Chain A
């Protein structure tokens, strides 16, 4: 004899503290258990792809800043890589190193936000979140020193980076590198062994390996499911083949694995930055590229291992000053493909946790 309650439709979002922006989940509940969900997007749709068709190749860079505003630097880089592939531009050595440093700093930055927000979704009252944001502030200081802004950097350029690093940058970065491992250890002490956190995140929202690959899920979410796939190793763009680092992978693919993979990736990123800071050569930071770019007719798909997954740009050029077609492969959106399968059968509280563990930015989901 089973007791049944009537299904109950709950609208989570669009304005809800845990949807990380304006996202809406129409959830059908049985008591507290989710029976069905339907994700609703589009509350932040700005038509980036259409806007880009009317802008010069340089003018698009600020647009990419505003797609995933947590990881502007990686977005810049991914776009610039695609344009360089399209226009066949060479990049000076020093600029390559700067790009690696920036991309890895951005990865730490994003993972700090992701992990902090995830623990917040588990119900911790802002403590881990604020600790992690404290370190993110430091990184943003460094970004500000380099680019002049704290969030929308607009730093990468086709053929290099916009300006050289200031003189005081590398010492400050070294100081940060020295301090950061202690801070990561602090987060781990604070939350990793916490029984409540483990109970809330272990074996929750399991994403099997096959499903992850089939759904095109990439980045830490896929790696937590055991997919050992990292474009930095698999398709080393730029100069990533010169650095030593590991790809942390999870075993089960639950929410806890996604969190631990992110923490481990931060450590790997620190390793990469350390090597890059050691080896960075002097020289020009931007190659000789015309101010208004006219790439030849053709198409190119440039991608990189963004902090959230494979971030790619598919560009079609008709030889003009603006791309004919500008398509983004948004990791945030595609990582949500399996959301329905991951959420059904769990309680609302788990749903929030699982959703938080995927780590999305609505600016990129909707674009």
Chain B
């Protein structure tokens, strides 16, 4: 059975490795600061106790005030899983660092999030629309999109 690690336990560990990176350690997830996202992801992947080598999914949710990027990662060696999040409060030009260099699996998913929610992932080598055509106006999954 895959163990869903509680954010409460993991959050302090990340905080210890990268001071100032964790905003909130909820039971279900860890909330990370966007500027520390890539470092934290690298830590989660490379730390032998974590060894989160597999990225389940990346998505984002539009909460009107902010965009929340959600990442679920799994370790195939330890068989545990963790959800971490990050927030972006800029609604006009939301930017979140891309984790494609940590987990390549984020490639199409980050593009999808950009396409449908308009969150720009900085550092992604090919950040353009994936499903809709170039020149499509707006981002359909935003709550204010008609």
Contacts and interface: CB of A to CB of B under 8 A. Distances in A.
Contact of A337 (B28, B72, B108, B132): B108
Given A217-B105, A334-B109, A316 B131 contact: no
Interface stretch (A40-48, A92-100, A280-288): A40-48
A36 interface: no
B1 A314 contact: no
Given A213-B54, A303-B56, A327-B59, A45 B1 contact: no
A316 B131 CA distance: 23
Interface string A326-339: 01010001101110
A64 to B, nearest CB: 16
A234 B130 contact: no
B108 A336 contact: yes
B95 interface: no
Given A41-B130, A310-B56, A334-B108, A227 B140 contact: no
Contact of A236 (B1, B55, B140): B1
Question: Which secondary structure dominates chain A's binding surface?
Answer: mixed
B38 interface: no
Interface in B50-65: 53-57, 59, 61-62
Given A41-B130, A42-B133, A50-B141, A216 B28 contact: no
B13 interface: no
A214 interface: yes
A299 interface: yes
B112 to A, nearest CB: 8
A179 interface: no
A324 interface: yes
Contacts of B107: 215, 337
A176 interface: no
B131 A216 contact: no
B2 A234 contact: yes
Contacts of A20: none
Interface in B130-146: 130-133, 140-141, 145
B46 to A, nearest CB: 13
B83 A301 contact: yes
Contact of A333 (B70, B103, B108, B132): B108
A45 B70 contact: no
Contacts of B132: 42, 45
B56 A216 contact: yes
B131 to A, nearest CB: 4
Central interface residue in A47, A49, A301, A338, by most chain B CB within 10 Å? A301
B131 A366 contact: yes
Contacts of B104: 211, 214-216, 337-338
Contacts of A241: 1
Contacts of B133: 42
B141 to A, nearest CB: 6
A213 B53 contact: yes
Nearest to A49: B141
A234 B105 contact: no
A246 interface: no
A306 interface: no
A227 B105 CA distance: 15
A215 B132 CA distance: 23
A338 B130 CA distance: 16
A217 B145 CA distance: 32
Contact of A314 (B53, B55, B70, B112): B70
Contact of B105 (A41, A235, A301, A337): A337
A42 B135 CA distance: 14
B79 interface: yes
A234 B103 CA distance: 21
B116 interface: yes
Nearest to A324: B61
A314 B57 contact: yes
Given A236-B1, A241-B1, 11 more contacts: A41-B131, A42-B130, A213-B54, A214-B53, A215-B105, A216-B54, A216-B103, A316-B61, A327-B61, A329-B57, A338-B104
List 8 tightest A-B contacts by C-beta distance, closest first: A216-B105, A42-B131, A235-B2, A329-B57, A45-B131, A327-B59, A325-B61, A215-B105
Interface of A: 41-42, 45, 47, 49-50, 211, 213-217, 227, 229, 231, 234-236, 241, 299, 301, 303, 310, 312, 314, 316, 324-325, 327, 329, 333-334, 336-338, 366
24 contacts: A42-B129, A47-B140, A211-B104, A213-B53, A214-B53, A215-B103, A216-B103, A216-B105, A227-B76, A229-B54, A229-B76, A234-B79, A235-B1, A235-B2, A241-B1, A312-B57, A314-B72, A327-B57, A327-B59, A327-B70, A329-B56, A334-B105, A334-B109, A338-B104
